Structure 1
Amino acid sequence: MVMELDRRLHAFRPDLADARLSGIVHADRFAVPTPAQIIAPVAPLRPKPSEAAFIDSQLLFGETVDIFERRSGWAWVQSRFDGYVGYLPEAMVAEGERQASHVISVPRTFLYPEAELKAGPVCALSMGCRLTFVDEAETRGSRYYLCSDGTAVFADHCFPLGRPFERDPVKTALRFLETPYLWGGRSGFGLDCSALVQLAMMMAGAAVPRDSDMQELMEGEPVKRRALKRGDLVFWKGHVGIMEDAKTLIHANGATMRVTRENLDHAITRIAPVYGNPTSYLRLQRAG
């Protein structure tokens, strides 16, 4: 019997596979992964090395990956955070890794060329981006953290890595209200239903899978609809949301193309003709 592996979470092709899969899958050759970091604010992860391929997910600045191949301007990688495998533009990843000190803790912020809010930003950063700070500075009463190249981020928009920022994932989910819906998106500039849940849980100190079908299989307590409470997850085929309270769902959805609050009864009625009724309700154990 051959084990069937999820290609979203395992790097294997007929010609090349992750060396850790040797003896499990057949491939012409196996590659020992090279550690690397994302150096773009947001890097699209695609199932094929082509701009025409749909975006499966996104990787954020400072996140670490394993590289299996670089070819024709593309890198074949696997995220070390959630295990997702795919292709991204080669210029968005750099070999080697540096231990990040902080994570961006607001949905969106700016990286400045210096500790000065009047300076034109270098780029925008999303919640979840990871940076290494080496110093601090203060300008007109505003405190900034400084990177080794002198670039700066407003200090109140960052939080030290290694401990939960907000133990209530619902509070984090609510901060994304009105954020545009983006298929495969995983940032404060646009995100999908499962990314909203993943980011909210990440800031609470819990690492959860990327896609809703994976999240539905997480360990937790199955609950009845009538027993739903704040923080519980509601799953449909291909969709997930998080409960604000017993009656209100927070979800990134294609119906409004943004993150919204919606009465659960209304959502169930609206979604049913296209995707059916909810498939499960799940209560996760809080981190910490």
Structure 2
Amino acid sequence: MNALPDRRLNAYRPDLAEEALQGTVTAVRYVAGVPARVAVPVAALRPRPDEAAGIDTQVLFGEDVRVLDRADGWAWVKSDFDGYVGYLPEPALDASATSATHVVAVPRTFVYTGADLRTPAAFSLSIGSRLTVVGESETRGTRYLTLEGGQSVVAGHCLPIGVAASDDYVCVAARFLETPYLWGGRSGFGLDCSALVQLSMMMTGRSVPRDSDMQAASLGTPVAREELRRGDLVFWKGHVAIMEDERTILHANGHTMSVAREPLATAIERTGYLYQEPTGYRRPV
């Protein structure tokens, strides 16, 4: 009997499935989905339409999704960014058809009600959030981008879509130091181990899978522990860390409950009771 497709990346239920799965899974009907955009700073994707359900991952302001179903105040969606499937509250979505022009390129920033840092902050945004810019201005030497909603964001905190923030994803990852750990988190407000890898690489122009097992199966090539260097990845079952140099890792972890730096040898010894030895080392190329 063939195994069912990974539910994290494939949308299917007995009553409904995404069109691409026709012939692979059985459902009453198949749909292509309707485009929508995330309209809140961060929205949790859950495995079922229930606030008590754990968070699988998150989608960010301005990211596009396909809505497969709406019911009882929930939307069942698939992310255009990394293909993740889940449920989020309907009010988190907007049907806007405008194209995003910029991306937030710093871990966190404020969106102001006016083009002046002295005006009230309307809300905060995470790195990776996508914005539609309609204008630009300068106040007391600081440049601001005007958003389609009329608010403003500091221009220096954003980049045009398609422009990399860095050519070294480890530098990007280090900017998250002391950011709180959050299971399923994928933002500058809180993130987990694999999101640190995904977000950091995203800001260098690379798209990678969301979860650590997906990353371990697809990123780069295997290397031996003695060959590790800056930028390599260390995988345990259910965990991933980034080599900052030949001996030190950066990782979002449940020990410090933050993104932290520690010697690889210390991490291996400390987590031995939980993870045993690392399951592999890989060099993203």
TM-score past 0.5 threshold: yes
Q: CA deviation at 1:219?
A: 4.0
Mapping of residues 69-84 of structure 1, within 5 Å: 69-84=69-84
CA distance in 1 between counterparts of 2:231 and 2:145 reads: 32
What is the aligned partner in structure 2 of residue 270 from structure 1?
Answer: 270
2:123 aligned with 1:123, yes or no? yes
SS in 2 for 1:256: coil
Q: How does 1:1-288 map to 2 (within 5 A)?
A: 2=2, 4-285=4-285
How far apart in 2 are the matches of 1:210 and 1:20? 20
- Runs of at least 5 residues in structure 2 that lack an aligned partner in the other structure: none
Deviations 1:201-232, CA, capped at 9 Å, x for gaps: 00011100000000001141211111100000
Give the secondary-structure state (helix, strand or coil) at the position aligned to 1:153. Answer: strand
Q: Which amino acid in 2 is paired with 1:119?
A: T
Equivalent position SS for 1:106: coil
Alignment-mate amino acid for residue 57 of structure 1? T
Letter in 2 for 1:29: R
Give the secondary-structure state (helix, strand or coil) at the position aligned to 1:122: strand
- Runs of 5+ in structure 1 lacking a partner? none
Cα drift, residue 24 of structure 1: 1.2
Tell me, in whole angstroms, the C-alpha distance in 2 between the residues paired with 1:113 and 1:170: 34
Q: Distance in 1 between matches of 2:145 and 2:123?
A: 15
Paired letter, 2:30:
F
Q: Distance in 1 between matches of 2:11 and 2:149?
A: 34
**TM-score, length-scaled by structure 2:** 0.98
Contact 1:236 1:280 in 2 (8 A): yes
- Helix, strand or coil at the partner of 1:217: helix
Aligned length: 285
Q: Distance in 2 between matches of 1:181 and 1:248?
A: 19
CA distance in 2 between counterparts of 1:148 and 1:131 reads 8
Check conservation: 1:64, 1:97, Cα contact below 8 A: no
Tell me by how many angstroms 1:98 deviates. Answer: 2.3
What percentage of aligned pairs have identical amino acids? 58
Change (3 A) 1:28 1:188: same
Q: Which residue identity lines up with residue 147 of structure 2 in the other structure?
A: C
AA matched with 2:246: A
Residue by residue over 1:10-67, the C-alpha shift from the partner in whole angstroms, topping out at 9 and shown as x without a partner, is 0000111112211111011112210110000000100010000000100000000010
Determine if contact 1:105/1:128 at 8 Å carries over to the other structure. Answer: yes
Per-residue CA deviations over 1:170-220 (Å, capped at 9, x if unaligned) read 000000000000000000100000000000000011100000000001141
Give TM-score, length-normalised by structure 1: 0.97
For residues 279 and 2 of structure 2, the distance between their equivalents in structure 1, rounded to whole angstroms, comes to 29
Residues 65-117 of structure 1 deviation map (CA, whole Å, 9 limit, x = unaligned): 01000110100000011100000011001224321111000000000111011
Q: Report the Cα distance in structure 2 between the residues aligned to 1:31 and 1:2, rounded to whole angstroms.
A: 23
Distance 1:178 1:127 in 2: 15
